[in-house]
Structure 1
Amino acid sequence: MALCGGSRLFPGVRSWFHRSSVLQSTCPPHSGFFGPVEDVMLSSGTFRDKVAFITGGGTGLGRAMTSTLSQLGAVCVIASRKLEVLQQTADEISSQTGNKVYVVQCDVRNPEDVSHCVDKMESLTGLPDVIINNAAGNFVCPSERLSPNGWKTITDIVLNGTAFVTLELGKRLIQRQRGASFLAITTIYAESGSGFVVPSASAKAGVEALYKSLAAEWGRYGHRFNIIQPGPIKTKGAFSRLDPTGMFEKSMIGRIPTGRLGKPAEVANLAAYMSSDYATWMSGAVIRLDGGEYVSMAGEFNELRRVTPEQWKTMEDMIRNTKGS
């Protein structure tokens, strides 16, 4: 019996599966059970006298993490290529939190630029206690249309950029006998792979291997390395390249068991905890924050959640009447 593909006995199954996500114009009702709490989770002085360095800190998740850490008392240093964007973000966050946010222009693809960036940070704040590698790039593209330059652009930012920042800071911290928390922001498909974002999937998987490797090697120097894998979170920069038409947002929500997209503040709260002294026994960890999307896509029979009670009754009658193996 080919029930899940639609059959002459029960033709409604396939058509119901195929149209279900299209019919969802808003978050489903059960998303109300999983409403986000976007307030800062930890106490206000958690990062007092700490310096936090965040790449890609001017926008999106980087901005959210910078805001949270600044509210918790950290002196933040944010870096990216766009100095104007960085300065605007720094001014806005500083005015809200009362804590200084410094800006350092840096192209993480260039190791010399990274070295100069760290030199400047040292002169401003000293070496950081918290390093968050968040700078990223991505776009959707069929792999047969992918150019060498497209591959190189993404892997240079994501994998090489993370490696250059991590190694430059790690070596200096080791030399000065300073411990630190390193955190990388990857994605759930770093674990599974994904078509149409092959450079990003490959680079993010490399970042995870880098961080797990250094967690084993550099713990002896007081360094710990952890990873957050966010699921879909609607930020302007990410969605403009990954869902430019808006046509995939509904299907994303349809496959997330909690029935909604994530919020930047949720990632920021988790990042703050993992980077704090409350988590000093956490190293080499990969934390998935995705509303259950990964496990929803992974299970072979999970699409059966779309079957109605009436359809289940018909299917159960068919199953009971099956003879033999």
Structure 2
Amino acid sequence: MFTNDTLQGRVALITGGGTGIGLEIATAYARLGASVMLVGRNEERVQAAAKSISDEGGKAAAMKCDVRNYDEVKQAVEATVERFGALDIMINNAAGNFVCPTAELSPNGWKTVIDIDLNGTFYCCHAAYPHLKASRHGGSVISIITMLGVSGWPAAAHAASAKGGILSLSRTLAVEWGGDNIRVNTISPGPIGDTEGTKRMYIDGGKGDLEAKKTALGIFGRKVDIANAAVYLASDLASYVTGDNLIVDGGRWLKYVAE
């Protein structure tokens, strides 16, 4: 539905880009003309992902990066600019989570998820800022969160707190960096059926149908639904959109309220 040059000439850095939603976004961006740098903790995985995009004719590169380490994040940003000449889009997709009642959650478990999700997002935004400010297209930051970070997420207090923090951080930066022609937005996916996370948390345990029924549409979403939202927010189609949280969850959060 987008034209082939929707993101022509833009450069994107995508954390957690080796699999799932991150790879889907990277693939969509490359098909629409962007150059993409995929980063993640598993170098073999992100290199394979970049190769799959290159094999399709896209412009892609990859490198190992742990978003919990600011020095590694800064190196990834600088490597992106060195390889492709700019950085226009920062996608904060890397995330960690596990199910655990809060009373049983260890301080280290809490810290690990906060470090990946919230601190990692801050590190990426901070390191990317001067290059996003210099972007000839206008900079764009997009962070993947969830409405469960707004409503609360029983048995995932660490992830809920991190995602809620990312939303607040993003809206703060939207105001602080608006004058620098940088737009900062978030996307809140619902249950995405073709991701490993949804498969592991719901489908494998026989709870797939129940989770799908919790949405207003009664179905799981697809990775491409999130990629389409990320294309829109990064493109000139959303040139007057900042500080927004684009909810792509099949109406799950509304049904929760209604029930």
| Pair in the same fold by TM > 0.5 | yes
Give the drift of 1:127.
2.7
Please give the residue correspondences for 1:1-325 in structure 2 after superposition, counting only pairs within 5 Å: 41-96=1-56, 98-174=57-133, 176=134, 179-239=138-198, 242-243=201-202, 245-299=204-258, 302=259
Q: Which 10-residue stretch deviates more, 234-243 or 63-72?
A: 234-243
* 1:69 aligned partner, one-letter code: Y
Give the drift of 1:198.
0.6
Whole-Å separation in 2 of the counterparts to 1:292 and 1:148:
34
CA RMSD between the two structures? 1.5
Gaps of 5+ in 1: 1-40, 303-325
The 3-state SS of whatever aligns with 1:243 is helix
* 2:44 aligned partner, one-letter code: E
Change (3 A) 1:177 1:256: closer
Give the drift of 1:236.
4.3
The 3-state SS of whatever aligns with 2:96 is coil
Whole-Å separation in 1 of the counterparts to 2:115 and 2:212:
31
Change (3 A) 1:211 1:88: same
Give the drift of 1:222.
0.8
Give the drift of 1:93.
1.6
TM-score by length of 2: 0.95
Whole-Å separation in 1 of the counterparts to 2:219 and 2:202:
16
Whole-Å separation in 1 of the counterparts to 2:241 and 2:116:
26
* 2:19 aligned partner, one-letter code: T
The 3-state SS of whatever aligns with 2:9 is coil
Whole-Å separation in 1 of the counterparts to 2:214 and 2:67:
34
CA offsets 1:256-307 (integer angstroms, 9 cap, x no match): 12111000001101110111011100000111111111110112xx3xxxxx
Percent same amino acid at aligned positions? Answer: 38
Structure 2 counterpart of 1:26: none
* 2:109 aligned partner, one-letter code: G
CA offsets 1:56-84 (integer angstroms, 9 cap, x no match): 11100001101100110111111111110
Give the drift of 1:245.
4.2
Q: Which 10-residue stretch deviates more, 286-295 or 247-256?
A: 247-256
Whole-Å separation in 2 of the counterparts to 1:73 and 1:172:
19
Give the drift of 1:242.
2.9
Give the drift of 1:241.
5.2
* 1:267 aligned partner, one-letter code: I
The 3-state SS of whatever aligns with 1:246 is coil
Gaps of 5+ in 2: none
Give the length in aligned residue pairs: 258
Q: Which 10-residue stretch deviates more, 108-117 or 233-242?
A: 233-242
